[in-house]
Structure 1
C-alpha cells in the first residue's frame, strides 16, 4: 500500500505535526510505502529518514509570514497550494492508495480538498482540533474564556467576538470556514478522531457536511523501560504552548497555592508573565530532553486546558513513564487518566488544581499513582506499531469500499475502525 501523508510541517512544533511525522514513520516500519508531503519548508524530523519513506517539499509560505492582505486571501483559498499539490501528486512514480491530511490552516487552505478528493482514492483527515466546524479552530470563546456553545457559522457565531486576535481575523477565519464548506460540497470525507470527546462533540456540529467518523488514538513514542520515581521529583511540570486557553496560568497559580514549584517547558504569550511571577520557564526542548526532564523533575504532569483539547500527548507520555497526570476534565487526555489511581481529573480552575497538587505532596501517594499509571499504560500501550495497525486497517477497509462502489456494489453503513491493537474499540477505557 502507498500512503501519502500531507502536513504543513515536517518537524514537531506541536501535537499535530508530531503525530503526522510519527504516523509516517510507523507506517513505513509496518511495511507500507509512504510519501510525506511537507507544505512549508523548514526543519525535517530525523524520523522521516527511512528506506520506505520519501519526502517532498511543496515550498509554500506560512500565511503568518505574508503581508496581511495576502495572508488573509491565501488562508481563505490558496490556489497556489492546490496547484503545487496537484503537480506533486502527478509526479509520484506510484499512484497513492490513500491520502491522509493532517493540517491545512497555515498554508494549504481548503483549496487542497478538491485536489485530494478528485484523485479517486480514499481521503482521510485527522481532526487534531475543531477547524472542520469552528472558524477559530478550537471551538472556544476567547472573549469569555469558555468552550463555545454556538452553532458554527450561525448568525450568533458570526457576530461573536470570539477570535483570539481580532474581529478582522475572525472575518478571515469565517471566510475560510465558508470556503471549506464549499470545497467539500457533496463529497464524503472520512475523519479520524483522537479522543472520544472530539467525536461526540463534532458529530453534532458539522451541519450538512457528509462525514464518516472513525476513532484512532495518537501514537506515543516511548519505549518501555524502568518506571520513573515521581516521588523524588520536585515540581509540577507543564509542557506546551504558554497560553490562557491551555491553562498555563492556572498551573502557576495553583502551584503557588499548594506550595509546589511549577516548571514550564514551552513558549508563548504568557511566558513573560510567568517569568515575572518567579516561575521556572525552560522554553522549548527536544522530545528526548523533555523525557529526561520529566524523569528528573516531574512529580506530576499537568494539562489544565480550558478549551476542549483533543489529546495532549504529554499526558500519555507521562503515564507511559510512570508519572502521574493532572488533567482538565475538558481535555481528551482525561479519558486516559483514572481519577485517584493514575492521577487526577479536575475542572480547569485554580482551586481544583491546587487541591490535586497538595495531594501530590504525599510521597507515598505520588509513588502509588505513578506505579499504577505505568502498569495500566503498558497493559495496552499506544505504540507506533499499534497506531500503524489501526491506520492500515482503516485504509484497507476504505480502499475495499471504494472498489465496491466503482463496481456498483452498495456498501452497508461503516462501523468505527478498531482503535485498539487487539481489535476492540477503546471507547471509555482508561489506562
Structure 2
C-alpha cells in the first residue's frame, strides 16, 4: 500500500506537523510505502530518513512571510501550490490514499480539487477548526471566549472575532468560502482527534460530503518507570504562551496557590509574564528536553485552554510519564483525564485553577495521582504503534471501498440498461 502524506513543513513546528512526521515514519516501519510531501520550503527532520519513505518538497513560500496583499491573495487561492502538487502527484507511483494534515500556511484551498481529483480516498486530520471556522479556532478573541455562532452565518461575518484585525477576518472569510467550494468537489474522510470536536464539527459541516472517523493523536513517550511528581517543585506549562491557551491563568493561579510556575515555550505573553516572582520561562526545548524537565521539575502539567482545543499532546505526554494534569474542561484532551484520580478537569478561570493547584501541595496526593495517571495511560496506550495501526486499518478499508464502488456503479448502470422501460 502506498500512502501520500501532505503537510506544510517537514519539521515539528507545531502539533499538526509533529503528528504528520511521526505517523509517516511509523507507517513506513509497519511496511507501508509512504511519500511525505512538504508544502513550504524549509529544513527536513531526520525522522523521514527511512528506506520505505520518500520525501518530496514543493518549495512554496510561507504565505504569511509575503507582503500583505500577495499573502492575502495566496491565502485565499494559491494557484502555484495546486500546480506543483499536481505535478508532484503525477510523478509518483499511484497512491492508495492521500492524507492532508495542514494547508493554511503554504498550500491554500487550491490543493483540495487536486487531491479530490486524484481518484483515490482523501483523508484530512482536523487539528483545528479551519475547515469550518474562518479564524480556525472557533474562538472570539474580542470577547476571550469560545464562539457560539454558526460559521459563515451573517452574525459570524459581522463579528470582530479575529486575533489580528477586521481586514484579516475578511481574508479568512474569503478563504473559508473558497475552501467550502473547493472541498465540495468530492468526498472527504475527516479524522477527529477527540470526541468533543467530532460532535461539534459534524454540526458545523452539514452539507459537506464527508465521512467522519475518530483516531487519537500519537504520543511519543517511551514506556518507562513513572515519574516522581511529588518531588517536583513547579506547575509546568508547555507550549505557545497566549491568552487563548491560558498561559496567563497558569501564572495567576500558581501565584495564588503559592507554587512556582515553569513555562516551556514562548509567545505573545512571554514578555509581560517575565520577571514575575515565582515564575520561570525556559523558552522552547526539544521533545527529549521537555520530557527530562517534566520528570525533574513538574508536580503537574497545566493546560487551561480558553478555546475549544482539540487534542493538545502535552496532556497525553504528561499522563504517559506519570505526571498529574490540570486540564481545561473545554479541551478535547480532558477526555483522557480522570478528575480526582489522574488530575483535575476545571473551568479555565483563576479561582478554579488556584484551588486545584493548592491541592497539589500535598505530596502524598500528587504521588497517588501520578501513579494512577501512568497506570491508566499504559492500560490503553496512545503510542505511535496504536496510532499507525488505526490509520492502516482506515486506509485499507477506504481502499477496499474505493475498489468496490466502481464495480457497484457499473452493476447499477448495467441493471438500468436491462430494466424494462416505462
| Both structures adopt the same fold (TM-score exceeding 0.5) | yes
Separation in 2, partners of 1:197, 1:138:
14
CA contact (8 A) 1:11 1:44 kept: yes
1:193-215 Cα distance to aligned partner (Å, 9 max, x none): 00001101001111421111000
Separation in 1, partners of 2:294, 2:42:
28
Separation in 2, partners of 1:184, 1:43:
29
Number of aligned pairs?
Answer: 410
Q: Once the 2 structures are TM-superposed, how far is the Cα of residue 186 of structure 1 from its aligned partner?
A: 4.5
CA contact (8 A) 2:116 2:185 kept: no
CA contact (8 A) 1:186 1:209 kept: no
* 1:242 is the counterpart of 2:245: no
State the partner residue of 1:158: 157
Q: Secondary structure at the match of 2:379?
A: coil
Separation in 1, partners of 2:183, 2:391:
23
State the partner residue of 1:422: none
State the partner residue of 2:346: 346
State the partner residue of 1:146: 145
The farther-off stretch of 241-250 and 178-187 is 178-187
Separation in 2, partners of 1:402, 1:56:
25
Who wins on radius of gyration, i.e. which is larger? 2
* 1:381 is the counterpart of 2:356: no
Q: Once the 2 structures are TM-superposed, how far is the Cα of residue 313 of structure 1 from its aligned partner?
A: 0.2
CA contact (8 A) 1:221 1:384 kept: yes
State the partner residue of 1:57: 57
State the partner residue of 2:187: 188
State the partner residue of 1:224: 223
Q: Once the 2 structures are TM-superposed, how far is the Cα of residue 410 of structure 1 from its aligned partner?
A: 10
Q: Secondary structure at the match of 2:274?
A: helix
1:41-76 Cα distance to aligned partner (Å, 9 max, x none): 223222111111111111011111000000000000
Separation in 1, partners of 2:393, 2:405:
19
State the partner residue of 2:97: 98
Separation in 1, partners of 2:44, 2:186:
33
Q: Once the 2 structures are TM-superposed, how far is the Cα of residue 409 of structure 1 from its aligned partner?
A: 5.3
Q: Secondary structure at the match of 1:407?
A: helix
More helix by share: 2
- The 5 A counterparts of 1:203-352 are 203-278=202-277, 279-352=279-352
Q: Secondary structure at the match of 2:408?
A: coil
1:82-113 Cα distance to aligned partner (Å, 9 max, x none): 00101111111x11110000000111000000
What TM-score does the superposition give when structure 1 sets the normalisation length? 0.94
Q: Secondary structure at the match of 2:345?
A: strand
State the partner residue of 1:362: 362
- Runs ≥4 in structure 1, deviation > 4 angstroms? none
Q: Secondary structure at the match of 1:56?
A: strand
Q: Once the 2 structures are TM-superposed, how far is the Cα of residue 187 of structure 1 from its aligned partner?
A: 1.7
Q: Once the 2 structures are TM-superposed, how far is the Cα of residue 185 of structure 1 from its aligned partner?
A: 2.1
Q: Once the 2 structures are TM-superposed, how far is the Cα of residue 131 of structure 1 from its aligned partner?
A: 0.5
